[in-house]
Structure 1
Amino acid sequence: MKTIQPLKNGKLYHIYNRGINSDVIFNENSNYEYFLKLYDKHIDPIAETFAWCLMKNHFHFLVRIKDVEKITTEKKILPSQSFSNLFNAYTKAFNKSNHRHGPMFERPFKRKLIENESYFQNLITYIHNNPVHHNICEHPLEYPWSSYITCLSDKPTKIKRKEVLEMFTDVENFKNVHKQKRNYFAIETFLGI
């Protein structure tokens, strides 16, 4: 059996998962909104977010786990426990409103350590282009449940927008790189998707 690596402080991770048997985990706008509200509650205190995308049956987050002294939770809990708390709270609410029971997400949630800048940049475009890749829309600008629009906005955000845009040099290059047709097979193979 494969050993699950703990999330380490100061490290970048791609956090992703899907519904059991690829079942739907978001079936209406209020589900997406509630999941993001819970994400803010459980994950913002322990991680910085660079990119995210919520799809009907799966999700992607690109985060850096905060250094211990920057974690703002009242009790110091392990970062992986914060993610578990998010998934459990969402599952309880979804089950109650949809008259279902049992787990929703595959366990354990998937995580990949990001160790180089090139992969980090490619992962941002992969996450934002996930709805395009799955033929939901033709451009990430058309999809409301990702951080792509937030990266282009001037509105206040907790997303590490400045750092993301610097990774692409500037806003125009960010847009141009996202427009390029890419084969994400290598990323999906690496992720085991």
Structure 2
Amino acid sequence: MKYFDKFHPDNFYHIYNHVGDENLFRKHDNFIFFLSRYHKYIYPVAKTFSYCLMPNHFHVLIQVRDEKAIRILAKNDNDEFDFHKFIMQQLSNFLNSYAKAFNKQYNRRGALFLDFTRRKEIKDEFYFSRLINYIHQNPVHHGFCQLPSEWDYSSYNSIISVNKNSKLERNVVFDWFGGIEEFVEFHKKEKFIDLEI
């Protein structure tokens, strides 16, 4: 299984990372701050379809934005522009900014994340819908709740709350499942699918 696929324009990726024996998030404010850092560094370079923040790890499903948008952001139109390297730098800035703030808040030292952030390119439509479900079912699978809707730190409730603004690609997700009712029903029917990530 390949865990470190290169980033390319318009492609979909499952991104995930975890920490060792301690928690990545110790209280509600940590989750919120993490999402604010995500919005600052990742939203400009990628569209987000689903996410889940667990106490000691996280999952995100993204689509990298097109090359033109990334070059504008990078202010770089050179032929030698390294697309993958730029996206990796944004990802690194995101995680480092969270880790520095976390270390300062809890008076700790050293790396927060256990290893390199894993990224798997998603090429299969069948896998796409199952990955969204897998991400939302994570807190259920790990015993933190009984339903995806009971976990405050995933995209599940944001996706189904159609009357609230969201930066998630909600309409694309609904199109993928066939509508909001089908989205909800899929999550009820398929409790947890081990995708062997």
Scaled by the length of structure 2, the TM-score of the pair is: 0.89
Aligned match of 1:81:
89
Q: Check conservation: 2:3, 2:119, Cα contact below 8 A.
A: no
**What's the CA shift string for 1:72-92, capped at 9, x where partnerless?**
635456111111111100000
Amino acid at match of 2:139: P
Q: Aligned partners of 1:140 and 1:38: how far apart in 2?
A: 24
Aligned match of 1:167:
176
**What's the CA shift string for 1:106-134, capped at 9, x where partnerless?**
22101111001110000000101111111
- Structure 2: unaligned runs, 5 residues or longer: 77-84
> How well do the aligned residues superpose, as a CA RMSD in angstroms?
1.6
> For this pair of structures, how many residues does the alignment match?
186
Aligned match of 1:49:
48
Q: Aligned partners of 1:29 and 1:57: how far apart in 2?
A: 14
Q: Aligned partners of 1:126 and 1:3: how far apart in 2?
A: 17
Aligned match of 2:157:
149
Amino acid at match of 1:35: F
Q: Following TM superposition, by how much is the alpha carbon of 1:53 offset from its aligned partner in structure 2, in angstroms?
A: 0.4
Q: Check conservation: 2:15, 2:118, Cα contact below 8 A.
A: yes
C-alpha distance 87-149 of structure 1, shift in aligned 2 (>3 A) = same
C-alpha distance 152-69 of structure 1, shift in aligned 2 (>3 A) = same
Aligned match of 1:59:
58
Q: Aligned partners of 2:143 and 2:4: how far apart in 1?
A: 32
Q: Check conservation: 1:22, 1:58, Cα contact below 8 A.
A: no
Q: For structure 1, which segment, 67-76 or 125-134, has the greater mean C-alpha deviation from structure 2 after superposition?
A: 67-76
Q: Check conservation: 2:5, 2:121, Cα contact below 8 A.
A: no
Amino acid at match of 1:176: E
Aligned match of 1:125:
133
Q: Check conservation: 1:15, 1:109, Cα contact below 8 A.
A: yes
C-alpha distance 178-43 of structure 1, shift in aligned 2 (>3 A) = same
- Greater length-normalized contact order (CA 8 Å, ≥ 6 residues apart): 2
- Structure 1: unaligned runs, 5 residues or longer: none
Q: Following TM superposition, by how much is the alpha carbon of 1:184 offset from its aligned partner in structure 2, in angstroms?
A: 2.4
C-alpha distance 3-169 of structure 1, shift in aligned 2 (>3 A) = closer
Q: Aligned partners of 1:183 and 1:144: how far apart in 2?
A: 18
Amino acid at match of 1:163: V
Scaled by the length of structure 1, the TM-score of the pair is: 0.91
Q: Following TM superposition, by how much is the alpha carbon of 1:3 offset from its aligned partner in structure 2, in angstroms?
A: 8.7
Q: Check conservation: 1:53, 1:146, Cα contact below 8 A.
A: yes
C-alpha distance 155-3 of structure 1, shift in aligned 2 (>3 A) = closer
SS state at 1:9 partner:
coil
SS state at 1:108 partner:
coil
Q: Following TM superposition, by how much is the alpha carbon of 1:23 offset from its aligned partner in structure 2, in angstroms?
A: 2.4
